Amino acid sequence: MQWRALVLGLVLLRLGLHAVLWLVFGLGPSMGFYQRFPLSFGFQRLRDPDGSGPVGPPGGPAWLHRARRGTEGRLESPPEPGPVPGPGVCGPAHWGYALGGGGCGPDEYERRYSGAFPPQLRAQMRDLARGMFVFGYDNYMAHAFPQDELNPIYCRGRGPDRGDPSNLNINDVLGNYSLTLVDALDTLAIMGNSSEFQKAVKLVINTVSFDKDSTVQVFEATIRVLGSLLSAHRIITDSKQPFGDMTIEDYDNELLYMAHDLAVRLLPAFENTKTGIPYPRVNLKTGVPPDSNNETCTAGAGSLLVEFGILSRLLGDSTFEWVARRAVKALWNLRSNDTGLLGNVVNIQTGHWVGKQSGLGAGLDSFYEYLLKSYILFGEKEDLEMFNAAYQSIQNYLRRGREACNEGEGDPPLYVNVNMFSGQLMNTWIDSLQAFFPGLQVLIGDVEDAICLHAFYYAIWKRYGALPERYNWQLQAPDVLFYPLRPELVESTYLLYQATKNPFYLHVGMDILQSLEKYTKVKCGYATLHHVIDKSKEDRMESFFLSETCKYLYLLFDEENPVHKSGTRYMFTTEGHIISVDKRLRELPWKEFFSEDGERDQEEKFVHRPKSQELRVINSSSNCNRVPDERRYSLPLKSIYMRQIDQMVGLI
């Protein structure tokens, strides 16, 4: 019996030591999967925006609590708020300190984050976001058009690197087709600039051609160019014209024809592959290059369905949706039987996984995104079934830490990179593309987890004034130091604000805006940060800065924008292009062309690949209401006051 008493005594001693650490320092040793990750979140009690009391239940430190999740994942009401913490709460775990204010006590947090965001300040931030776009766009038009991108430091244009075909960082994206102008079309419309939108559309129609000897990545050409052409076409032909008069005199569906022309030039990527998974690159004149790589990433091959599906349904030609859907299903069928996970790089001929890493970032991100968004647009139940299964596997194998974001013992949750077959941790870094995931969680209503994950990425932003391309959560340091003006954190911030209406996210947006103005603005635009610590720059402004980053920042502060007020349901593509969710996109206009043996069956969406039909435009000028059970990211959900968003201790 003595050994039992000894063990019990040791256990009680350890618990006592932990209690002393919590009481004296507000911290304790980590017990979770990343014990060498000394950045603890130190969540403190947050007050309601009206200042009525702290948001969080009594009975211990506020980071131990959050709203309970009931059956089927529905959120239940949180317990009644507890007493206000005493004035002695301060130090590096406190909001005011962690977020850069250096203050103590709840008043500092209240002053900076919990109060209402004044309308005047909101208008100022909206105008700043618009000005940011205008400054980049005008300088592109003055110094770079008709080339693809702007070099904002030396005020020059940039096109494909003809001297070095292996420079894929440039050549995958730049096709010598005025990329930045094309990519920015719907941003002009959303900001209500009808005159410049009309001018830009006419420029695209009159000057842009895809008959170019350019080898581009199928994925990049699809999301940046094809998606933008389709979005602008829908805006022009919308009978409601919610953004103002964006009609083009004598418009004859030219943008839709251009989208068709580009898509036809991308189709050779889907030919001569044993799996149906497309080649990663095509030459717009000659097709797949003879020396083409047989390896492609999952996101690149499996994130084409939204744009290709829209094109098919507008034209009444199933070819494009068919090849994109076949690629998605081919990838899906290669997932691990044990974990349900997919890898990040696959051989298109053998179906062998070359890259076995499964995560939420580069190589996989938009694959998950488009499973859900394809269902929202087209209503095909198999897309939703695949997404739900994928999301469950993500929760089972990628999510580490305690079960609840702000409740229970252990470390706060984090999504890591694992081996697709075993679920074992492969490395200790996350990349900036993963910051899109909270926004995707908003789309499916998993708002509480989205709040928690967003806080992690925002904490990193607060430390550097940007998101490093890779961040090592174990070493607390960037692994890859550049920041190319990516939009993912801004996108999630915008979607979380639409879901919660909590002014905290307006403060986050203001912080991001001010960081971009301070660290990235140069003579002729906004430049990539080469090094997030010393803030050295690279002479490049990628097109997504105008098509996504500026757009989401603007919409965050423009509460009266037609996107939020028009009554039309909208969805954004992975490149941020706006698409009205129209009942017509849920119809299959090519059904009449199928013979009996060309109908659907259980194994394939279509038994036989249909022949490309003569170009036929489906009237898309009216927007219809969505099916009632569909979710929309901008649908205001019940406001969920954040009781757990805090920074990692010692970040500032």
Q: Which residues are catalytic?
A: 220, 365, 469, 488
Rounded Cα gap, residues 583 and 161, in angstroms: 43
Q: What is the enclosing helix (H) or strand (E) of 357? A: strand 357-358
Burial class from Cβ neighbours inside 10 Å (0-12, 13-18, 19+) for residue 9 reads: exposed
Which tokens hold the place of 36?
A: 């060498």
Rounded Cα gap, residues 301 and 289, in angstroms: 17
Q: Which of 85, 96, 93, 94 is closest to 58 using CA atoms?
A: 85
Rounded Cα gap, residues 281 and 289, in angstroms: 8
Q: What is the enclosing helix (H) or strand (E) of 305? A: helix 305-315
Q: Quickly count: other Cβ atoms within 10 Å of residue 596's Cβ.
A: 5
Strand partners, 525: 522
Residues 476, 481, 484, 485: is their CA dihedral positive or negative?
A: positive
Q: Quickly count: other Cβ atoms within 10 Å of residue 195's Cβ.
A: 10
Residues 147, 150, 155, 158: is their CA dihedral positive or negative?
A: negative
Burial 16-27 (b: 16+ CB within 10 A, else e): eeeeeeeeeebe
Q: Which of 556, 567, 613 is closest to 588 using CA atoms?
A: 613
SS3 495: helix
Residues 61, 63, 67, 73: is their CA dihedral positive or negative?
A: negative
Contact 285, 300 (CB under 8 A): no
SS3 532: coil
Rounded Cα gap, residues 228 and 578, in angstroms: 8
In angstroms and rounded to an integer, the radius of gyration of the C-alpha atoms of the chain is 25
Q: What is the enclosing helix (H) or strand (E) of 538? A: strand 537-538
Tell the residue number behind the tokens 């596997």, with chain if given: 393
For residues 174, 178, 184, 186, the Cα torsion angle rounded to the nearest 10 degrees is -120
Rounded Cα gap, residues 528 and 183, in angstroms: 18
Q: Distance between terminal CA atoms of the chain? A: 51
Rounded Cα gap, residues 359 and 24, in angstroms: 38
In DSSP notation, 216-272 reads: EEHHHIIIIIIHHHHHHHHHHT-TT-TTS----TT--SHHHHHHHHHHHHHGGGGSS
Q: Quickly count: other Cβ atoms within 10 Å of residue 31's Cβ.
A: 11
Q: What is the enclosing helix (H) or strand (E) of 282? A: strand 281-283
Which runs of consecutive H residues, i.e. helices, occur in 485-538? Answer: 488-500, 504-519
Rounded Cα gap, residues 82 and 304, in angstroms: 49
Q: Which of 439, 648, 502 is closest to 113 using CA atoms?
A: 502
